[in-house]
Chains A and B, each alone.
Chain A
Amino acid sequence: MPKVVIPPPYRGSTEGNTQVEVDGVNVAQCLEAVDQRYPGFFPLVVDDDGSVQRFVKLFVNGEQLDAGEELHTAISAEDEVEILAAIAGG
């Protein structure tokens, strides 16, 4: 099963879990599957218009996904979807 790696800022919504195994054939389905288990997770990654949030970057097996195409990217059983969320003070 594909894995979704949860970034530290979002682990409150996954009860502290650092990764979640899901069913899904593309990135969007994988994220929705996490949301089904942990309601409220999906909006942290995808905004109301269905775009990836500006402060989030998505990677599959370490490769950054192209902007605008991320959610449609096909995923296979061995893949790891990683989420990076910008966090800093200043």
Chain B
Amino acid sequence: MSGPSGDKLIYVDMNDQSVDIRDFPEQWKLLGGRGLSAKILLAECDPSCDPLGPDNVLVMAGGVLGGTAAPTSGRISIGGKSPLTGGIKEASSGGQPGQHLMKLGYRGIVVKGQPADAEKRYALEVTGDGVKVVAADDHKGKWNYALCEDLHGQYPATASFITCGPAGEARLTGASVATTDQDNRYPARHAGRGGLGAVMGSKGLKYVAVDPGKASVRQASDREAFGALCKSYTKGYLAGGQMFKTGTASIVPVANMLHTFPYKNRVEGQSPDAANLDGARIVESFESRGGMMHNCMTGCIVKCSNVVNDAKGEYKTSALEFETLTLLGATCAVASWEDVADMDRLCDEMGLDTIETGAAIAVLMDAGQMEWGDADAMRKLIAEIPEGTDRGNAVGNGAVATGKFTGHHRVPEAKGQAIPAWDPRPLKATGVSYCTSPMGADHTAGLIVNPGLAPDQFAWESQKVQIINTVCDSSGFCQFLQPNLDDIRAFYGALYGEEVSREAIHDQGWQVLEDEWEFNRQAGFTPADDKLADCMGQDAVGAEGAKVVFDVPAETIQAVFKRMPAQEELFTGRASG
């Protein structure tokens, strides 16, 4: 095998702010993103450590195809022990830093330790000339947009940034890690789930600047074959349905019809405000306000990301996604997409996961501590989160913390993480993924939108999609491109000039899951943790006369942990998150 060679890993020790550049092991060449993060964490992070202490390890890794000409392949995975779930976590983000790191030949950044002085802030600078940690005290406490505006003045126009907002600095466990997008270089893309922003904050790392300068695209071993594959794949994609051309927000009506657009802390599966929260309203607003669909990273052919302007035609936020419209919108009984756009911007400013924050506020409202649908009160609350008020701390620490703060019983979660929009009651196989994924309740780990699936298929479907998504999140491809395993192994084969068999790609996906489950076992998880919150088995949703709860038996759930023989659809089924 040839292909890209000489790759490196950046090790950063925040105890003394030293940097060590190590060779990337040859035998890991098909490990990237989520898979690379899992490998490093299982080997180098004590699973029983305090996730906000010095022994946690924060990984930032591009995918195997990152930095190449493969379409939509430059995602970055952020990994670590999650302070929210207590288990392993990987959260993927678009934007430019993944592409830039890979173009420079850095397969990942591994951050260990913690500065002795928790008040200090640092930055990591990565360029073609080297890597160093510098002081960043001047940027302490800055909201993400103001921070990036300042960084644009401080670094060349070619640089991109990975940033920690005030919520991460406050070590709140609902905190996200932001990455800057490709055109405006706004911190609008987030590795949202699992509180990894708090891990970044706990390491005193305010931002990472990656400047590729004039670094060129990574070349494949067989340039001609790789180039031809990129061309034919792109052509095939553009000739197809292009289902996300108007953004994920445009699926609100179908989710509502399927009773998976949860309302008022999930006591109902449909929102009466679905028409006002529909992404179609956002697309309609482009005509009078400007705004557009764009690609959050270079080379993306899906372009699912909306740029949302306010009534004056000024930039408000990007991207306003289906999950955000559901959790900060419908579950809190907020009736307008414009209010959700405000809150999306605020969450991006603070560095907060919109799913966890929306779910936490819905718990607060359900507990009677805020009026349903009170968007003004929500805006105020999100802005106060980094100030450390009791209520702000509770919401910033997520749905479970808010349940404890209010004493409220209904907290829809799995392994401590709030359930995303896709509801495990009508979509029971997705519920099986939430129970068994090493990531807790995370739709990107294994979404199965098939309400008609027979119960004897739940375990296989969940295992299958978890393997596909794991490989996708290791490749650098965005899940919205919906590649299948045959596509991914074709790209890997052309990149390194050697065929990757179906068996090998199956093994790889399964091994990543095994590594992650093993990390969780060592962190103290047992089969008793492979479940959803009780309310999902009690509060029914669905059409009158056909209401459903999550009632999948434990033996079906446990079957996911045993490797099943591959079926054809493992290789032809598409990533789905």
Contacts and interface: CB of A to CB of B under 8 A. Distances in A.
A90 B506 CA distance: 25
B528 interface: no
Contact of B453 (A11, A44, A55, A57): A11
Contacts of A85: 243, 254
A61 B577 CA distance: 27
Contacts of B453: 8, 11, 16
Contact of A86 (B239, B251, B420, B450): B251
B480 interface: yes
B332 interface: no
Given A44-B257, A54-B246, A90-B480, A14 B323 contact: no
Contact of A89 (B246, B258, B420): B420
B6 interface: no
Interface string A35-58: 000000001100000000111010
B319 to A, nearest CB: 7
Interface residues of B, number: 40
Contacts of A87: 243, 251, 254, 447, 449, 576
Interface in B225-260: 239-241, 243-244, 246-251, 253-254, 257-258
Interface in B261-282: 280
Given A85-B254, A86-B250, A90-B480, A8 B450 contact: yes
A24 B438 CA distance: 47
Given A8-B449, A11-B450, A89 B421 contact: yes
B447 A89 contact: yes
Interface residues of A, number: 25
A76 B421 CA distance: 40
Contacts, number: 96
A13 B450 CA distance: 10
Given A11-B451, A11-B452, A89 B254 contact: no
Interface in A1-51: 8-17, 43-44
B258 A86 contact: no
A17 B453 CA distance: 9
Nearest to B242: A57
Nearest to A8: B450
Given A43-B257, A55-B243, A55-B251, A88 B576 contact: yes
A19 to B, nearest CB: 12
B322 A89 contact: yes
Contact of B451 (A9, A59, A84): A9
Chain A residues touching B, majority SS: loop
B254 A53 contact: yes
B77 interface: no
Nearest to A40: B543
Contact of B443 (A9, A13, A54, A89): A89
Contacts of A57: 241, 243
A20 to B, nearest CB: 12
A7 to B, nearest CB: 9
Given A9-B451, A12-B452, A84-B243, A90 B576 contact: no
Given A55-B243, A64-B240, A90 B258 contact: no
8 contacts: A11-B450, A44-B254, A55-B250, A64-B239, A86-B251, A88-B577, A89-B248, A90-B304
Interface of A: 8-17, 43-44, 53-55, 57, 59, 64, 84-90
Given A9-B450, A57-B243, A64-B240, 13 more contacts: A11-B451, A16-B454, A17-B452, A55-B243, A64-B239, A85-B243, A87-B251, A87-B254, A87-B576, A88-B304, A88-B322, A88-B447, A90-B323
8 closest residue pairs by CB, A with B: A11-B452, A12-B451, A90-B321, A90-B248, A86-B243, A8-B450, A16-B452, A57-B241
Interface of B: 239-241, 243-244, 246-251, 253-254, 257-258, 280, 304, 319, 321-324, 420-422, 426, 443-444, 447-454, 479-480, 576-577
